[in-house]
Structure 1
Amino acid sequence: MAIACEFEPKKCSLEYKTNIWDIGNIPNRLLEYFLKSKYMVDTLLSKTFIRAAEQNFRSEFSLSNDSFWIGYRIKNRRSSCKKFVIVVRRERIPQTKDETLPSTYCGLEVLVKGKFDTDGESRAIMQEEAKYKLDEHLTINDSIIDQLLQAHSNITGITTSPVLSMNYNGDKPHKLKPISCIVILCHTKGVVPMGEKPFPTYIHGFPVDVRESCPATSATRPPHVGDTIKADTGMTKGTLGGFVFIGSKKVYYLTAAHVLVQKHFLNENLFNRPNEIDTKILRKVSQEWQECGKLERGYFGHIVWRNRVTVDAILVSVDHDDHKPKDTCTFLPQENVINAGFSEGSKPYFTGKIKEILKLDTSLDIVKYGQKTLWTKGKMTSFNAFNKIYFEANDPGEYFYRNYYGQIVVTSNSGKFADQGDSGSLVFTVEDYQDPELQCIGLLNAVNLSTFEVFITPIRAVLESLKLDLNAFTRLDPPFYLKYFNIIQETQALQTEILFNIEENTREFRTSNLRNAPVSSMQ
């Protein structure tokens, strides 16, 4: 069958065949016409349009398959009409306009949720549950769990409760019935994944109560490059740039000094004073702030390295084993790697190599990962630049400035290379996108909010000012699979060379024998 609908000023038509599910690039305007925020009957045609919208959404916003899913809402269980929704699950909610997803796409509602975001219902019920007694006949066996998990992908837990929650709506009072029930915990309540049925209302005669909850282990995860960090004494947030090593076991985080140090401490004497500053360093894990170390040494001022350079850097010592990096190679996050020129699924990694920038080089591909703007790509536009950086004083509305000398300037043609919150990020150059090994060129410290020029301190000046060896990063090894992949490549190359030499020698031997063979005439 054929479908046609008019859009000014053109008419757009779609030829549809019932045996084709992936029908390619259907225009978004056509999809919106059919899907626009309404309840519809679940037919083969509606499924086809939904899958086309899903494909376009994935492509336009560069999302992986496991970071979003299509679901539907129902008016009631007696109705066959469904309202489809795009549910996006992210480790981190976008904080800038460039990252923010639209509230609707092709007429479908877009629901963006953090990995551990819930509506608070389970938390609100906890205190009341202790007042009631659970029916002793209510038990959950393995077969119930297996059946539910097989039929529903949105489940995060299955438990029991002595109370049934009714009509929960945020902070407004809601009704609790003293009825023992089976509780199905899910990530997103009210949206059923496409292709699945709603949760059952009763199981073995007991009512089912659906609540949002995302359980997680109480253990902290190891720190990552790009983590959000701050001091407990201030509101400024920045980025965990990377790890450096002193001796055989001592591990430090590297970031910008102004992220963690109160402004009145920012001076040339900072190097010997961090341990005098009474502050705790925190990093954000899920939705919580966890202590992750203490200030060790820093530098905020000018040094002479080829020319005058201003350094704004500090180290945070890591004494607790849970706060030390577990990998011998630092893999950077994969979220939106294509924004930095990498292919989808690439794993950029850093083994500690640095690259000294001695002059303006506009040919370099420069990338960074920061907690605010994630992966970005840019080009050098200036070298040995000067800028006056303004800081907000401890009193609101008051500012002071510091002069920054000898900075590398980077900009991006496709948006912001960095924004407030990215201070402390390591900045890299990448030479081969097929083997995405990164080489560090500097530490990000400031951004011009008018021109979006980003100021980066050369990494050698940073290391020297902190009394670190130039190989402070290089205790990291290449990824295991890459190391052995390279060995295999070298072995294959050697085999090819040997076979080539054997073939060449055989050809020469045959040619030599032909020349020396007796010649007979044919009569």
Structure 2
Amino acid sequence: MDTLLQAAKCMILSICPRLRQNAISLSFCHECSQERPLVMMMSYKGVIEMKDGIPKKAMGINLVLYNYTHPSSEACNVFNSFMASSFAINLPVITEKEAKKLFKKHSNLTLISASSFKSTGFSKGKHRVVEKPCISLLCLHKGFIPLGEEEFPKQINGFDVDVQEGYCSFGTGRSIDFGGHIRRARGINTPGNGSIGGFVDLSDGLVGLITCAHVVFSSDELLIPNSEMHNFVLGKGTDLNVEFFDKNQHNFQVCGTIVNKCFPLSSKNNSVDAALIKLDPTVNEFEFPVTDQLYSAGFDPNKSPIFTGEVVNVPDPDPVFKVISKITDKSDSVVKYGSKTRFTIGNLYFNGAHIRFVDDTGNLPDNTVAVMCNQIEIQSLPHGTFFEPGDSGAFVFCINPDKTLSCLGMAIGSTTKGSCFVTPMTRILILLVFLIY
């Protein structure tokens, strides 16, 4: 099968050499119809024009084009129907064990979440969004079933399943902006820039900085088992240096060295994507920036918000009653400061989402890599954006009644429907800091 796909890919690229820059991937699928005809799905990014002369068939099989960077608007329409002022606490959930079975069974699946609204009639041009609690599934290309697999279930745990098109991706960016930027030292093949998250006191009296692992590690380095990180760190030395953007010097300066990382390589790491950087003693701690945007969240725009030092205890989804527990004593609004979007406000939406991230070529990794379970889903406010690529690693804070901040977790990525995902800080601290100090 792989040989046929490689041959077809070479044939298409020989006819349309411009597609070499569009990171295409090929797969065999069945159409979701009674006849279930076999097609060859070509996923691409960028723009394909009529003059490119894409063939209608490859090796006698109908060729279907799919631009994975522009999924249909169905998921966004449904998600935006829920602009609530309170955390959705009565949505159905799926356990981590059930989620991993679904990811293994359906290679096209990218997100398992929930919704108060269900989509109907989108493919027939009669789209309606009805109020009905359901299990929400995102997939790469709706209407097509990968060869050898089954359709998605109609119901899970007694709740209807709503399938929409979209995917999740990490939030690494390449833009250079003032304040909050962090990256691996020059010369290392890493994805780009991310955001400075926050700081922790280490047992040796120094300060540690936390950001996402995918921000400061290359793709190959992310595949190193977490259990082997200690020996890897000892052997790399200054190759693990990290730089931050110094606003006073107007350039990047080395600020510390990576000492640990955790990344989803198996079910044993509790779905954490994080890196710990030991800061150089000469580096001053960073303050929460003062910005005009503070006023919209009810803060004094002339003063930095106060972080209490509290880490929010996020309850796990209840596997018996299938509902989410409320995050007690906290506002449903959350804030973050990232290097790309700076200070933004969002709403708590769902605790218990399961994610499989799509890489930059539009491919899904295998079932042991980059699957993150029981993440917190954050919704942007109307006419606002909570998270964009480049914000990975930014800490997300709950707002206390007295306008102080408590740390909820770390932003790791976003979906095409407009939500952001946050890993609870309690998990990050246990796996990244407490277990090595």
TM, length-normalised to structure 2: 0.49
The structure with the larger Rg is 1
TM, length-normalised to structure 1: 0.41
